[in-house]
Structure 1
Amino acid sequence: MTFPPILPWKDIHARLPVIFPEGCANREHSIWEIAAKTIFVMLYVGAVEGNSVWLRPDQVTRMTDAQAELLGDDERAAWVPLSMQSSKGLNIPDRWYAVNTRESIRDDTIRYALLQNGAVIDRPVPTTSSAGRYALQAEFAALLSPNLDEATFIAKAAAWREKYLNAGALARIAIVRKGAAAGGTYELVTFPNGETRRMATGPSADISKAVIEVFAPKFLQEPGVISLSESGNKVVARDDELAKAIGLTIPADKSLPDIVLVDLGPAHPLLVFVEVVHTDGPVNHARKTALLQIAEGAGFAAEHTAFVTAYLDRDATAFRKTVSSLAWGSYAWFASEPDSLVIFNDKPLQIRGGC
């Protein structure tokens, strides 16, 4: 067979962040070195849609730097059966990965990243079969052609995303890109009552804007904004009349979180404390305890109080850095996936019906 032209794995690695921009699901495992080397081996053996050639994850572990430099068709064809040999007693000096890495390649990189993002296709194979299962999607493989100049590659990558990533994925990418972009001197935030306020631009302001304009009307029946602060505790807006109406005293020391919302729809209003996290500062246990004291001082019992940590994206470093410290009984919300909430439930799961 004629094998597809191939880039060095380091050049593939350089292209992946452009193909999968911030906001892509499981982006970290779609663009890391293991993904680049996995894609390289797929191209090396010709495992591309339409070729009837399929990759086994353990083939990636058997590649070496020396073999990767042998790019002729005959050299590649000779390596394919060698890469499929039984591993019993097999010794491969300087192999890329240890034998037990194949599960991580299969699951973290292929199944839950490249396959999910449309870069890889698979076929049904019996679990006991030694046959290969995975191949590169043809138009994705074309993005890795050595013949593409930078401008053509960028244009083709954008066209590939528009065609093969679903609407939700594209929307998520667009939101994350907007949050990462600077522009203008202020952010205009529209409150539920139609009033507007200016905030300094930046990622935190983008998240705050999304909380007020998207989260509040989506998850609250009759939302109101009691207070809104910027980084550094600069108060952008505070509604003392609304706070007074529900019996809430806003501390003078500005110990309230970034945003305080209220839902006036229920018979007893719901007080919602929101921390906006671009780098740090989630609703952890200590923060939740302090905010509960403020709420209880205003006559709000725990069942009428909610705690939300708002992030730009679920795959962002800020969430991965702080998720382990989020308080039980609180929520996490992501501007890039606005229809969903992550609930950190601190109550025992009640299973009824025996199934």
Structure 2
Amino acid sequence: MLRALHPIIMEIQLPPYISRDLILERLPIIFPEGTANRNYVTRTMAASTIFTMLYIGAVDGNSIYAGPKHVYRMTEEQAVLQSNAERLTYGREALKKGTQVEGTRWYADNTREPIRDETLREGLQQVGAVLVLQSVATTSSRPRYALQREFSELFDPGLTGEALTDAITNWQEQNLTANARLRISLARRTSGSGDNHVLVRFPNGEARRLSTGASSDISKAVIEVFASSFLENPAVLWLSTSDAKVPYLDESLANDIGLRIQPDRDLPDIILADVRHGNTILIFVEVVATDGAITQRRKDAIYALTDAAGFMREHIAFLTAYHDRQKAGFKKTIIDLAWGSFVWFVSEPDKIVHFREGDAMTLTDMMR
């Protein structure tokens, strides 16, 4: 049984009581698709952590701090007790060795690491939702975490409707980095319009309509964003989608550069060309929503095509394009990506990953 608190401590103003279920409903709105480590800040463990911090008043400015022990010692029965005295008593007593909180525990003691390392350090701290008391060593058992006050106010149960939406938008604008907001903005984009098609504009001014879907969204970004960002004089030679009865082919340009393109199962979704004064660079792009990355087998098959056309291999590039590196498609296919190929993410359009191969180099050399 938890003991009652001293009357002076009971005067602390706690945040309004809110259920864990309601917190869990709000988290995906506060942290939409595109948020870094989104799973860590939207799952039930994150809701449990935020609930517990609100419950004991661990909010910046209150001089009350939470630790993982507060979270994993919380019980179903304790969580429904709503008086200030009951909440503050739990915050104080849960830290004491041998304390037995009545009821069914939310988590076992061995969840300390995922609460601390994933939910707090890699999740809520990274997005500015949780502050850390720096005077407490990381190896200390003392509580050291508090919710940022503005973030905690997003969980006022009286804040609903348009007022809640405005408060969340304002918090995102004030606290998420420019790069984080860009990723979220790109992830929010929906395909096409009322006619269920995505309009893709090519560098030469042509346009093509693709059926709505994740692959079409990525294809559109590759042609409209990647090509203009990473190529000097981009052109689209080939575009094929799963629903296209007739793939797009710029036969005139293909003939000019000596590339014979024939529909084949080893052709990727997109072939781009960087048409320069001198040597043309060909970029073979595979779009991955769920599967189908540039593997070594695909790379070798494409080399057979370009070798026959007389292209030097140093003028051939391979790219696998994904929506976001947190998506299942990337996690599923990364193990099969071919060495020497590139990876690009729609949600991080100014960056590119190179799976470098070749002679060994020191890390210092690679950083130059």
Is the deviation greater in 299-308 or in 101-110?
299-308
Q: What is aligned with 1:242?
A: 253
Instruction: For residue 330 of structure 1, report the CA deviation from its aligned partner.
Output: 1.8
- Is the 8 Å Cα contact of residues 192 and 199 (structure 2) preserved in structure 1? no
Q: Which runs of 5+ in 1 are unaligned?
A: none
Distance 1:280 1:305 in 2: 22
Which of these residues, 121, 132, 145, is aligned with residue 122 of structure 1? Answer: 132
Task: Map 1:81-96; keep pairs closer than 5 Å.
Answer: 81-86=92-97, 94-96=104-106
User: Percent identity of the aligned residues?
Assistant: 47
Aligned to 1:275, what secondary structure does the other structure show? strand
Task: Map 1:159-198; keep pairs closer than 5 Å.
Answer: 159-179=170-190, 183-198=194-209
Distance 1:250 1:167 in 2: 41
Which of these residues, 73, 77, 82, is aligned with residue 71 of structure 1? Answer: 82
Aligned to 2:286, what secondary structure does the other structure show? strand
Q: TM-score, normalised by structure 2?
A: 0.87
Q: What is aligned with 1:105?
A: 115
- Is the 8 Å Cα contact of residues 266 and 298 (structure 2) preserved in structure 1? no
Whether 1:57 aligns to 2:68 is yes
Q: Deviations over 1:11-56 (max 9, x none)?
A: 1111111111111111111100110001011111111121121221
Q: What is aligned with 2:273?
A: 262
Q: What is aligned with 2:8?
A: none
Q: What is aligned with 1:271?
A: 282
Instruction: For residue 311 of structure 1, report the CA deviation from its aligned partner.
Output: 1.5
Q: Against the structure 1 CA distance between its residues 91 and 306, is the aligned structure 2 distance closer, same or farther, given a 3 Å change threshold?
A: farther
Distance 1:317 1:139 in 2: 32
Q: Deviations over 1:208-266 (max 9, x none)?
A: 11111110121122222111112235444211122222221102446421100112237
Q: Deviations over 1:238-295 (max 9, x none)?
A: 1112222222110244642110011223743222111112222222233223222222
Q: What is aligned with 2:354?
A: 343
Q: Against the structure 1 CA distance between its residues 353 and 16, is the aligned structure 2 distance closer, same or farther, given a 3 Å change threshold?
A: closer
Q: What is aligned with 2:7?
A: none
Q: What is aligned with 1:326?
A: 337
User: For this pair of structures, how many residues does the alignment match?
Assistant: 353
Whether 1:32 aligns to 2:16 is no
Q: Which runs of 5+ in 2 are unaligned?
A: 1-11
Aligned to 1:193, what secondary structure does the other structure show? coil
Task: Map 1:180-329; keep pairs closer than 5 Å.
Answer: 183-253=194-264, 255-265=266-276, 267-329=278-340
Distance 2:364 2:264 in 1: 51
Aligned to 2:321, what secondary structure does the other structure show? strand
